[in-house]
Amino acid sequence: MSQPASKVSLTGIKPTGEPHLGNLVGAIRPALDLVKRYESIYFIADYHALTSIRDPKLLRHYTRSVAATWLAAGLDPEQTIMYRQSDIPEIFELHWALSCVTAKGLMNRAHAYKAARDQNAAAGREDLDGGINMGLYNYPVLMAVDILIMESDVVPVGKDQLQHVEYAADIAGTFNHLYGDSYQFKIPQAVIPQEDTGRTLPGLDGRKMSKSYDNTIPLFLPEGQLKKFIRRIPTDSTPVEAPKDPDSSSVFQILEQFATPDMIADTRKRLTAGGVGWGELKNQLFEVLNHEIAPMREKYHALMEPDSELETVLCEGAEKARERAQCVLSSVRSAIGIGR
């Protein structure tokens, strides 16, 4: 573990789908980079996923799959803490305590909740809250608890999660104002790794690769399938001999995230000169991608076996996380007048 003085970075991953290349480039790699600068905590937000996933087998599968993906991608459980949110019951106790100091109006203004209401309005439904569960409504409070209970300094998130981190800071501020003589939460700050690096990956339709666009290349496809997916990346009909613009090509943009600087420069030159067809570029992309992914794929599948060490890693992580959580919760209980 890092020196006690180092700041804490916390990342929560919601297990709602199969990992894809965009997750690796946009979220996993930048978050793993933070290990060098912060004491890093990662957890799988399975109770957050419950707001949308009602299939128990699937939820359990996604939860294990997220953990296995991060471990396969290089997360070192010796240097970090990784746990399953649902293994930390202290989170739910603090959730109630913080709900009681959180303004309902704050939740009314939350983007995800407002978007769900807008959808109802657009569909002409009379009840704008129709189909919206309390989990979705309370989601930001639970997320604030995830952040505050680990005394996080920074929270690396995508832009869509910025408001949630601001809410966490806001809720911490209210608590500190009310009970600050006894206990003060740390005020967390969001960091957006994608802006640091400018990395986003185009998907199979040229838009940003994202589960919600259904345009992803899954991370752990068998080789043959990976080849097929790469062939589906759209290209224009420029003939082989003609010069091509690397920067308007999705294939090249994906290659840029995986190839060495020398290979990127060389490929750029060859494309601009003409004589390289899209088929050839796609073969090159496959080789480069597969070279990086093959060892991860193997580790991932080994971890996904029912009796792998995955469960042990998660349980050990939960033990460490609970120690921190119990410490915070006990201070909070004493501050608010709960218990003896």
Which residues lie near ligand TRP (CB under 6 A)? 10-12, 14, 45, 48, 143, 146-147, 155, 157, 161, 164
**Residue 29 Cα to chain centre, angstroms:** 11
Instruction: Name the nearest CA neighbour of 110 among 66, 143, 79.
Output: 143
The answer to whether the CB of 255 falls within 8 A of the CB of 233 is no
Q: Please, what is the minimum distance in Å from the beta carbon of residue 120 to ligand TRP?
A: 21
Q: Which long-range contacts (CB under 8 A, 24 or more apart) does 307-310 make?
A: 308/68, 310/64, 310/67, 310/68, 310/71
Q: Please, what is the minimum distance in Å from the beta carbon of residue 110 to ligand TRP?
A: 11
Nearest residue relative to ligand TRP (C-beta): 12
Between residues 214 and 241, which has the closer beta carbon with respect to ligand TRP? 214
Q: Please, what is the minimum distance in Å from the beta carbon of residue 134 to ligand TRP?
A: 16
Q: Please, what is the minimum distance in Å from the beta carbon of residue 144 to ligand TRP?
A: 8
Using DSSP's 3-state secondary structure scheme, residue 177 falls into helix
What are the Cα distances from residue 70, in Å, to 8, 212, 314?
18, 21, 12
Q: Please, what is the minimum distance in Å from the beta carbon of residue 103 to ligand TRP?
A: 20
Between residues 45 and 116, which has the closer beta carbon with respect to ligand TRP? 45
Between residues 145 and 281, which has the closer beta carbon with respect to ligand TRP? 145
Between residues 16 and 267, which has the closer beta carbon with respect to ligand TRP? 16
Give the integer Cα–Cα distance in Å for 140 and 123: 25
Between residues 85 and 249, which has the closer beta carbon with respect to ligand TRP? 85
Using DSSP's 3-state secondary structure scheme, residue 192 falls into coil
